[in-house]
Chain A
Amino acid sequence: MSNSTQAEPFERPDPERSVPQLDGIVINRLLGQGGMGVVYKGLHTRLCIPVAVKVLLGRKHSAADDRMLNEARLAAKVNHPNVARVYDVNIQKDATYIVQEFVDGESIADMIDRCAAQKAWLDETRVLELAADAARGLAAIHREGILHLDIKPDNILVQKRDGVAKIVDLGLARRNEPRIPQSDDAEKANSVYGTPGFMSPEQIQDMELTHTTDLYSLGATIYEMLTNLPAFPGGARDLLAIFQQQIHSDPPNPVNVRGNVSGATSAIVTDLLQCEPNHRPASAKILLERLVEARRALEKTPAASGFAPAQSALRSENPANIVCIDDDMVLCEFVSDALKASGHEVQSFNSGAPALQHLVVNNADLVLLDMEMPGANGLKVCHAIRALPNCQDVPIVFMSGVSDLHTIDTAIKLGATDYLIKPVNISDLLARVQCLTRLCQVQRERTALEDQYKKMSSRNTAILRGSGKNSNSERSGR
């Protein structure tokens, strides 16, 4: 229910203040506002259940009423646990509305926003589960001969009680029928519906649409769930730029942003985002089978092995003892998994104090340090680490969301060896670890050889002195 490109904008009153009076419904609160209307949470007074009510507000418009009626009629055909049910539709004098199942939870868009704010990613297994739910819902919609045409993170809600994902908002849905060519250009321009960044190339071009059109949108949704980033960056209005990316570039691969995505999952995403509809998985059912298979493969494989394919070039020849200090334990765990998969040992701490206690008595080959933490911030911790006698040469790499040049310079002046900006690119992290641990190893090797050289030199000098004394004794006849 957001940002959909729509023809015929409506003039609407403020939905918070002018709550409509609906027959048989008591409105509780505003849930959201989108291109076609406003959604409230309400109580169905006769059925005595909470419902979501989608209301067309403002100037009454027969075409808009017809569209809502069409939406309700199409949605009512679908009876599936992964699609929000429609109970009723009503056209009143002052408002047209659909009464549908209230999904108590959050949208996938909310989940992505929350992860992005925490600088974390949704667990890949969870992404596959949610995508599988969406694929089941789409299969049910397609079975009824309907195309959804607006699949995106905002339109997939996840139920709080059991984590099941449900597709909502069939506002742009239509029957999957051969398209009647339109001669009128203006009419053609108005007939492009959907959300930029999720619409398939054929949807943008107003060409023939098929089941795979929805699969493309689901591909863009899965990409965003995995990376917290849009598959096709560009403003909501910049359809042309998005279209250019879609047709001229290879499909975006989530591995490029998140190195630990499994090969099976990234292949699903790139297959779904193929520009040519025939190159995508042929149906939601086939997609579902692949999602379930990828989910099973993840269960069989140890969590960290996902790092191996993308990072084989960075697999460490020198296993190192690494200390990771970050109050974000999700990130700590993620970093730790990536490093362990590359053969390193990792100790994680959620603040500077316990890490310093550890470093007093244990040597580390590398320290990864967050900047903003409760208690002493990263700069203070960096300074304190450098003051420890055994840590004067240990490489310290900052991992921080603070990216201004002044902070980076200050960190380096205080003894930081390197600085990575969050969200941390795993390739960058592994490259840093590899370079710095190699340096430490060569330093140690040189120190050991120097000691050996000094010992050998002094032993040889002693031997030479001894042999000198002997020859003197021989000469003096003693």
Chain B
Amino acid sequence: MPMIDLKGLRFHYQQRGRGPDVILIHAVTSNLSVWLFGSLMDVLAGDFRVTAYDLRGHGASDAPVSNYTSADMADDLQKLHSALKLGPALLVGHSFGGVIAMHAALLHADMVRGIILSDPFFPGLAHLEPNLADMANWRVVRDALVEAGANLGRGLDFARLFEVVAALSPQQKERFSQKMGEPSLRWLSQLPRLASTSCGRDVFAPAGLTAEQLRQVRQPVVALYDEHTSFQATREFLATNLKNVCVEIVPGAQHVAPLQNTDAFVHLVQKHCRALNEAL
């Protein structure tokens, strides 16, 4: 398995193709398989050298106890970029992966040529999204856990989610699976490892990526928002405040476009990667 040591932490990564660099950044509680199950990696590899990696605490990468903010993870990305000797890259980030991409564009501007976001929520724009706990995907997970006899509480709280999942009995997991389907158990099984880390709290910290900082991003940004996104106010903020931005809608998707409408998502990312590459 391809692993790289970045100042004491080991990261799992994959590379495909040749050409200008594209880096794929997955969401919190996900891993790099999302790019393989959705075929994006092989499709982009026709035009680009594509690098995908597991964030700290995710997939097959190491899980340190702390430092899971978008600033920390943008630093991980910079170290990976440097260690693999990549050129200035297009970043594709799903959900929190998009937050990391934007933070990297500010903190390590030279390595970022352009950014494609997929339905991110920014902790620094939390004031625009007062009803986060009503987010549809979260409600579905919360309700399924309640039916399994576990209580997540009222707020959107990843730290609590990780702790609750770590404490689930086999019977509760079975009830959760009956409600959510078999694949949900595979997702669930990755979460207990994060219960002993600060990930759940850190990913909701603005970590310096404020509204004012987001306005300073100079690189071109393509903001792909899902048709049924919970983050319409964030989408509007980006559309009106970024210097160089294009917004497109992924039909039929609700925060997980890479898996919910794979064909449309892959088509849009490929189209915009090609366009950004030609324009830059």
Do A and B actually bind?
A: no
- Chain B residues with a Cβ under 8 A of chain A: none
- Chain A residues with a Cβ under 8 A of chain B: none
